[in-house]
Amino acid sequence: MSDAERGRSLVEVEDLEKYYYEQDSLLDTLLRREQTAVHAVDGISFEVEEGETLGLVGESGCGKSTTGETLLDLREPTGGTVRFDGEPVSGRGKAETKAFRKRAGIVFQDPFSSLNPRMTIGESIAEPLKVHDLPASDPDVNVVTDVQTENLPPGSVTVDAADDLDTVVEARDGTATVHVTVRGPEEDRGELAAEDVTVDVEEDVDTGVEVRDGTVHVRLSVERSRRELRRERVEELLDRVGLSADQYDRYPHEFSGGQRQRVGIARALAVEPDFVVLDEPVSALDVSVQAQILNLLDDLQEEYGLTYLFIAHDLSVVRHVCDRVAVMYLGEIVEVAETDALFEDPRHPYTQALLESVPRADVAERDREVHTLEGDVPSPKNPPSGCRFRTRCPKVIAPDDVDLSQAAYREVMDFRERVEGLGEPLPLDYLREEAADAYPDVEETEALVRYVREEFFDHDLDGDDRAAVDEAVRSLADGDEESAVETLRERFESVCERASPDLDRDAERPAACHLED
């Protein structure tokens, strides 16, 4: 979509936090220890503009689904606000919540587990219609008729349309127009009777004709029951999502993954929402089917003027679908950009690393050096200080007087983490034994110093860098962990661990990285 078409924020997220609390063990419960908070979403702000598709990407466990579910008021936020069309989504009354649920829906990754296996797919799609008592007439919609007459004198026809015709006639800009043609007999047979008149209506409405005093009175109405109307609506939806009306009575297990996802989409669209969270809608599907579903989502967006939040871990999917992309890491948004800008010039090292791991079709590109992301996302129970990506970042900023390659600096940082008890603990007794075996003629502590340097550092350390590491190992040998931590911190502490970089949303290219400061 063009920039001119976008602009108004439909969803506004401000400092949103969602923590999960879980007791670690039975012992914690018995001792009434304080619960550990899982910082799934930790202070994010962004907006989704009307009519756009905003991508939300990041590795598994970064908090994408939690964000989507909190946006839809399916989870209560721990802090911050979500506004939909200017109104806060949580803490509202029953009626307002119901009205919001009609306007905002979700498509899940796995349509099989989100569809009730005991319901036919028609029933599944009809369910939200039932909940919202639909189809129903909208009092704000004006029903009008567009009448053509044939073989009848001017002014001899009146057409009366019931107010609720908008339940079956699609409204555009607040008006539902019914197109009617009323025909009289080809030849004049004297006095006109109702049987001589035919009424054709383009839309699917019921008609009644009476002739009184030479005037034809046509009545347009909907005579079908709500149940019949629902079935019709579901059949239309099935057709619209690429299935067929006669599949209404089939069960989910009779469908392929792609077909089930089409059902999931029809179910989400049944109540004609404005906003849909697509939570990894194609991740569970074969690659060949993915494109079909993405095309369908695209067509439906165009047709119904939908706004999407598209959650994905796979950047390659996002590229062709999203107008803008927000990149999430460990509960935070680290970069937001227009899709093309993000792919052509990613600013945050995490975005760069995610892009590096996207497989390229291009043969020339396949040979390029790939720095895929190493390790896992750290636990959101105890996120790293400062920049959360720093423990895996290939561009951590060393202090000015530390002149080490990034690889050497990374080794120091990883070692420091272990000394600080954040990574895997150092097996000190084992290292002592190994050091004594390796250097039997060297004093015990000095042997450990040498051994640790050899074991943990592939890159050479010189001068003050080496002195700081050696000094820290001596402190460890003395059982003084605190001094070891302090010595290493004094020499090597990075701005990336000291301060959390902000995402300046007013910047031309917002990226929460100290390299952008």
Ligand X SMILES: Nc1ncnc2c1ncn2[C@@H]1O[C@H](COP(=O)(O)OP(=O)(O)OP(=O)(O)O)[C@@H](O)[C@H]1O
Classify 223 as helix, strand or coil: coil
Nearest distance from C-beta of residue 35 to ligand X, angstroms: 11
Interface region with ligand X, contact rule CB under 6 A, candidates 56-64, 134-142, 228-236, 457-465: 56-64
Q: Is 105 in the site for ligand X (CB under 6 A)?
A: no
Sign of the dihedral through C-alpha 370, 375, 380, 383: negative
Selected binder of ligand X within 47, 50, 64, 300 (CB under 6 A) = 64
Q: Work out whether 63 is an interface residue with ligand X (CB under 6 A).
A: yes
DSSP sequence for 252-292:
GGGS-HHHHHHHHHHHHHTT--SEEEEESTTTTS-HHHHHH
**468: which 2 tokens?**
């700081």
Quote the least distance from Cβ 13 to ligand X, whole Å. 14
| Smallest gap from residue 381 Cβ to ligand X (A) | 8
> CA–CA distance from 401 to each of 152, 280, 304, 348, 460 (Å)?
96, 45, 59, 24, 17
Of 284 and 477, which CB lies nearer to ligand X in the complex structure? 284
The least distance separating ligand X from the CB of residue 336, rounded to whole angstroms, comes to 16
Whether the Cβ atoms of residue 166 and residue 138 lie closer than 8 Å to each other: yes
Determine the Cα–Cα distance for residues 510 and 516; give it in Å rounded to an integer.
9
Residues 6+ apart with CB under 8 A from 22: 35, 36, 38
- What is the x/- site pattern for ligand X, positions 21-40, by CB under 6 A? -x---------------x-x
CB of 105 to ligand X, least distance (A): 18
In whole angstroms, how close is the CB of 20 to ligand X at the nearest point?
3
Q: Does 62 bind ligand X (CB under 6 A)?
A: yes
61-69, 85-93, 94-102, 206-214 -> range binding ligand X (CB under 6 A): 61-69
CB of residue 61 vs ligand X: minimum separation in angstroms?
4
Binding mask 354-393 for ligand X (x = CB under 6 A): --------------------------x-------------
Backbone angles phi, psi at 380, to 5 degrees: -70, 0
* Number of residues that this document lists for the chain: 517
Per CB under 6 A, the list member of 60, 113, 175, 405 interacting with ligand X is: 60
- Stretch binding ligand X (CB under 6 A), from 54-62, 133-141, 366-374, 433-441: 54-62
Q: Which stretch binds ligand X (CB under 6 A): 57-65, 170-178, 240-248, 473-481?
A: 57-65
Q: Which residues contact 310 (CB under 8 A, 6 or more apart)?
A: 53, 54, 55, 56, 278, 281, 318, 321, 322
Is 20 among the residues that bind ligand X (CB under 6 A)?
A: yes
Q: Which two tokens stand for residue 484?
A: 């070891």
Task: Name the segment binding ligand X (CB under 6 A); options: 55-63, 341-349, 353-361, 474-482.
Answer: 55-63
The answer to whether 78 and 17 have CB atoms below 8 angstroms apart is: yes
Residue 341: CB minimum distance to ligand X, A: 23
Closest separation in Å from C-beta 281 to ligand X:
12
Helical spans, DSSP H, in 420-462: 428-438, 444-456
- Using CB under 6 A, which residues numbered 273 to 332 contact ligand X? 313
Q: In the complex with ligand X, which residue's Cβ is closer, 252 or 378?
A: 378
Q: Would you say 45 or 151 has its CB closer to ligand X?
A: 45
DSSP state of 309: E
Return left, alpha or beta for 151; rule: phi > 0 is left, psi -120 to 50 is alpha, else beta.
left
Number of residues this chain uses to bind ligand X (CB under 6 A): 14
Neighbours of 443 (CB within 10 A): 9
Shortest Å distance, C-beta 323 to ligand X? 21
Contact residue for ligand X among 9, 65, 177, 475 (CB under 6 A): 65
**Residues 13, 42, 52, 61: which binds ligand X (CB under 6 A)?**
61
List CB contacts of 52: < 8 A, sequence separation 6 or more.
1, 6, 307, 308, 323, 324
Stretch that binds ligand X, among 64-72, 78-86, 121-129, 201-209 (CB under 6 A): 64-72
Min dist. Cβ of residue 357 to ligand X (A): 15
**Residue 475 touching ligand X (CB under 6 A):** no
| β-strand pairing of 307-312 with 275-279 | parallel
Nearest in space to 12 (alpha carbons), one of 62, 60, 54: 54
- Three-state SS at 251: coil
Instruction: Work out which of 9, 53, 66, 339 binds ligand X, going by CB under 6 A.
Output: 66
Cβ–Cβ < 8 Å for 57, 64:
yes
**Interaction between residue 230 and ligand X (CB under 6 A):** no
Q: Does residue 261 bind ligand X (CB under 6 A)?
A: no
d(CA 154, CA 47): 56
- The contact set with ligand X (CB under 6 A) reads 20, 22, 38, 40, 58, 60-66, 313, 380
